């Protein structure tokens, strides 16, 4: 079973690049934190994987493929 | 679609570009052998986090490691350098005396820190550069004992290090030859605001100033500055940019002046079986007019490595042009700055909106024709995306056949001229010289960026 991407809020500096790379996988919550919205959609998770690579602080944890 | 006969790929380099290129080969289901040659003893790690993470103590070295899915038949060779290349026999010669055969070669050797000859005579224990994790740990150790550190160079590494050291109570003198800090990455107006920011936090910033000479003092470094003043410090950090690691390619027929020269597809100029990516490579970004330049940026490097791996797999004729919109960032004194577009906004570029002096908001920089060339956002990550959209509107993606047309325009005139003189067309690529010896050559100043 996969668990989908997860944000490490301790590390995240809210640069917001993930929102540009994978808008279908991430959103901004009311408190300003970035949240994961896609857990099962395979295409969205693949885009989230690219966002994880590009994240300036490497704050996105991906499940093992 | 994969080039037939591509069974062994050698990746020279052990940083971000190397690992992302290898990862893309795995994604494309490349089943052959992949050898990665890394001069460093460590697995690939996040270099941008050295100045704003390791030096500040915010990031532990063990958390720097890059996660990647590697090809099934990938092999790391650490602590070894490439010292020569035989393009005819397709072999890379290594510093341990071995030779590695390849069908496809990915050059991702990155940069080495520039040094200042004036500091050569000093005790090496007093002089630092910041390029590797070992550099960062050594500088952090020195900073713990130091009361005063001199930083030469006000680019990204210099200014982020000034923030990191000053915020830990170390006195910092930061000198730069330009009138403002960060002028090359942020332009003169934002650069001026950042200079004010550093001064306000207690960094002794000396702009339009260089090193006239250095000597040993009783406490450490005694630097004579070009403005006639003297700075006494316990240690010095030389942060004046970096030069491409391309000495091993000199004499191979590849153009390595100011970095490995590539075609728009990231194939090395004139080569079918060699691509280059990351900080060591320059290429014409056809989206922005096509001047061949390097881009030292985290995001661009990953995209570039993926593109280079794809280009190698599909071949030179099918590969597309690499046309990214550069995206970089810096964090200083808790302030996030995003830089999109041209990495070198010039003094002529005017600010169309926002208030750069206040370092708040988003603003765009335009050339003399009124065209947007760069966008900068300060503490407004949300509008960075809008700036990127605006840039993409001003500089649209070139047509799909742009790379082929570029090559035709670049290569055809030479061929026509050769035929006109009754000579046979030159074979693809310049004359080969077997195992050219590496020799050092002074590099050109480079632009700090990420």
Q: Per-residue pLDDT tens for B87-138?
A: 999 999 999 999 999 999 999 999 999 999 999 888 888 999 999 999 999 9
Q: A39 to chain B nearest CA, in Å?
A: 20
**Chain B residues closer than 8 Å to A56 by CB:** 48, 298-299, 329
User: What is the rounded (10 degree) CA torsion for B17, B85, B93, B321?
Assistant: 20
pLDDT band at B365 (very low <50, low <70, confident <90, very high): confident
Instruction: Determine whether the interchain pair B381/A16 forms a contact, defined as Cβ–Cβ distance below 8 Å.
Output: yes
Q: Residue B64 corresponds to which tokens in the numbers above? A: 């720097």
Say which of A13, A53, A58 has its CB closest to residue B20: A53
Instruction: For residue A65, give the chain B residue with the closest CA.
Output: B69
* pTM of the predicted structure, to 2 decimals: 0.90
pLDDT band at B340 (very low <50, low <70, confident <90, very high): very high
Tell me, what's the pLDDT at A63?
83
If you count residue pairs, one on A and one on B, with CB atoms under 8 Å apart, how many are there? 36
Instruction: Determine whether the interchain pair A62/B298 forms a contact, defined as Cβ–Cβ distance below 8 Å.
Output: no
Q: Look at residues B74, B60, B59, B63 and name the one whose alpha carbon lies nearest to residue B20.
A: B74
Query: Whole-angstrom Cα distance, residue B279 to residue B86?
Result: 23
Rg (CA), chain A: 11
Tell me, what's the pLDDT at B443?
35
Least confident of A25-39, B337-351, B427-441: B427-441
Interval B222-242 mean pLDDT: 96
CA quadruple B343, B347, B348, B351: dihedral sign: positive
Per-residue model confidence as pLDDT tens digits over B172-199? 999 999 999 998 888 888 899 999 999 9
Say which of B48, B382, B388 has its CB closest to residue A56: B48
Tell me, what's the pLDDT at B14?
97
Instruction: Determine whether the interchain pair B299/A15 forms a contact, defined as Cβ–Cβ distance below 8 Å.
Output: no
On whether the CB atoms of residues B341 and B349 are closer than 8 A, the answer is: no
End-to-end CA distance of chain A: 10
Per-residue model confidence as pLDDT tens digits over B34-43? 999 999 999 9
**Chain A residues closer than 8 Å to B332 by CB:** none
Instruction: Determine whether the interchain pair B299/A16 forms a contact, defined as Cβ–Cβ distance below 8 Å.
Output: no
**Chain B residues closer than 8 Å to A19 by CB:** 385
Widest CA span in chain A: 31
Instruction: For residue B70, give the chain A residue with the closest CA.
Output: A65
Instruction: For residue A14, give the chain B residue with the closest CA.
Output: B381
A39 interfaces chain B, CB cutoff of 8 Å: no
Q: Which is more confidently placed, B100 or B443?
A: B100
Q: Look at residues B215, B186, B198, B246 and name the one whose alpha carbon lies nearest to residue B121.
A: B215
Tell me, what's the pLDDT at B426?
37
CA B264, distance to chain mean position in Å, is: 18
Q: B107 — phi, psi (to 5°)?
A: -95, 115
Strands in B260-261's sheet, in edge-to-edge order, are: B260-261, B281-284, B292-293
Q: Look at residues B377, B395, B378 and name the one whose alpha carbon lies nearest to residue B386.
A: B377
**Chain A residues closer than 8 Å to B298 by CB:** 54, 56
Tell me, what's the pLDDT at B416?
53
A49 interfaces chain B, CB cutoff of 8 Å: no
Interval A6-28 mean pLDDT: 93
Interval B293-319 mean pLDDT: 96
Residue B346 predicted with pLDDT over 90: no
Q: What ipTM does the predicted assembly reach?
A: 0.95
B43 interfaces chain A, CB cutoff of 8 Å: no
**Chain A residues closer than 8 Å to B302 by CB:** 53-54
Instruction: Specify the residue for token string 């690219």.
Output: A50
pLDDT band at A41 (very low <50, low <70, confident <90, very high): confident
On whether the CB atoms of residues B298 and B275 are closer than 8 A, the answer is: no
The interface residues of chain B toward chain A in range 317-356, judged by CB-CB distance below 8 A, are: 327, 329, 331, 336, 338
Q: Which is more confidently placed, B218 or B352?
A: B218
Tell me, what's the pLDDT at B422?
42
pLDDT band at B359 (very low <50, low <70, confident <90, very high): confident
On whether the CB atoms of residues B30 and B72 are closer than 8 A, the answer is: no
pLDDT band at B148 (very low <50, low <70, confident <90, very high): very high
Residue B317 predicted with pLDDT over 80: yes
Mean pLDDT (chain B) is 88
Interval B320-343 mean pLDDT: 91
Say which of A20, A52, A65 has its CB closest to residue B388: A20
pLDDT band at B378 (very low <50, low <70, confident <90, very high): confident
A32 interfaces chain B, CB cutoff of 8 Å: no
Positions of E strands within B295-436:
327-332, 335-341, 350-351, 361-366, 372-378
Q: β-pairing, B274-276 with B204-206?
A: unpaired
Say which of B299, B336, B385 has its CB closest to residue A13: B336
B370 interfaces chain A, CB cutoff of 8 Å: no
Q: B229 to chain A nearest CA, in Å?
A: 39
Tell me, what's the pLDDT at B350?
65
Least confident of B314-318, B382-386, B419-423: B419-423
Tell me, what's the pLDDT at B413?
62
Tell me, what's the pLDDT at B370?
81
A19 interfaces chain B, CB cutoff of 8 Å: yes
Tell me, what's the pLDDT at B141?
94
Query: Whole-angstrom Cα distance, residue A52 to residue A38?
Result: 14
């Amino acid at each position: 079973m996969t668990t989908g991407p997860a944000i490490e809020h301790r590390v995240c500096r809210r640069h917001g690049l993930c929102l540009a790379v994978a808008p279908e996988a991430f959103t901004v919550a009311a408190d300003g934190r970035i949240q994961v919205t896609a857990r099962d959609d395979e295409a969205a998770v693949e885009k989230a994987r690219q966002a994880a690579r590009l994240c300036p602080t490497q704050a996105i944890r991906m499940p093992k493929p | 679609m994969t080039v037939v006969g591509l069974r062994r790929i050698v990746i020279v380099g052990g940083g971000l570009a190397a690992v992302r290129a290898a990862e893309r080969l795995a994604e494309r289901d490349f089943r052959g052998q992949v050898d990665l040659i890394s001069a460093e003893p460590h697995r690939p790690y996040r270099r941008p986090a050295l100045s704003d993470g390791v030096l500040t103590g915010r990031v532990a070295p063990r958390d720097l490691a890059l996660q990647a899915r590697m090809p099934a038949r990938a092999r790391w060779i650490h602590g070894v350098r490439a010292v020569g290349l035989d393009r005819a026999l397709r072999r890379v010669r290594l510093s341990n005396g071995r030779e590695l055969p390849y069908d496809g070669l990915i050059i991702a050797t990155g940069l080495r820190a520039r040094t200042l000859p004036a500091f050569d005579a000093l005790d090496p224990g007093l002089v630092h550069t910041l390029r590797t994790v070992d550099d960062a740990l050594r500088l952090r150790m020195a900073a713990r004992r130091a009361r005063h550190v001199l930083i030469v160079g006000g680019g990204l590494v210099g200014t982020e290090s000034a923030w990191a050291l000053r915020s830990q109570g170390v006195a910092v003198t930061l000198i730069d030859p330009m009138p403002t800090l960060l002028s090359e990455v942020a332009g003169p107006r934002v650069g001026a605001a950042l200079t004010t920011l550093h001064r306000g936090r207690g960094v002794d910033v000396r702009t339009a100033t260089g090193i006239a000479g250095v000597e040993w003092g009783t406490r450490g470094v005694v630097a004579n500055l070009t403005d006639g003043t003297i700075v006494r410090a316990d240690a010095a950090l030389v942060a004046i940019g970096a030069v491409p690691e391309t000495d091993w390619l000199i004499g191979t027929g590849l153009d390595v002046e100011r970095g490995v020269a590539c075609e728009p597809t990231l194939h090395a100029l004139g080569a079918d079986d060699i691509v280059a990516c990351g900080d060591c490579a320059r290429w014409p970004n056809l989206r922005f007019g096509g001047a061949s330049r390097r881009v030292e940026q985290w995001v661009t490097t990953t995209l570039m490595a993926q593109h280079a791996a794809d280009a190698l797999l599909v071949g030179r004729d099918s590969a597309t042009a690499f046309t990214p919109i550069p995206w970089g960032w810096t964090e200083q004194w808790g302030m996030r700055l995003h830089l999109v577009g041209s990495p070198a906004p010039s003094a002529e570029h005017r600010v169309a909106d926002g208030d750069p002096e206040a370092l708040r908001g988003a603003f765009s920089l335009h050339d003399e024709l009124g065209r947007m060339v760069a966008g900068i956002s300060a503490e407004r990550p949300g509008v960075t995306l809008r700036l990127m959209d605006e840039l993409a509107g001003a500089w649209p993606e070139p047509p799909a056949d742009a790379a082929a047309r570029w090559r035709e325009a670049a290569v055809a005139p030479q061929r026509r001229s050769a035929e006109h003189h009754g000579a046979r067309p030159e074979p693809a690529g310049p004359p080969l010289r077997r195992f050219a010896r590496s020799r050092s050559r002074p590099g050109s100043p480079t632009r700090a960026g990420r």
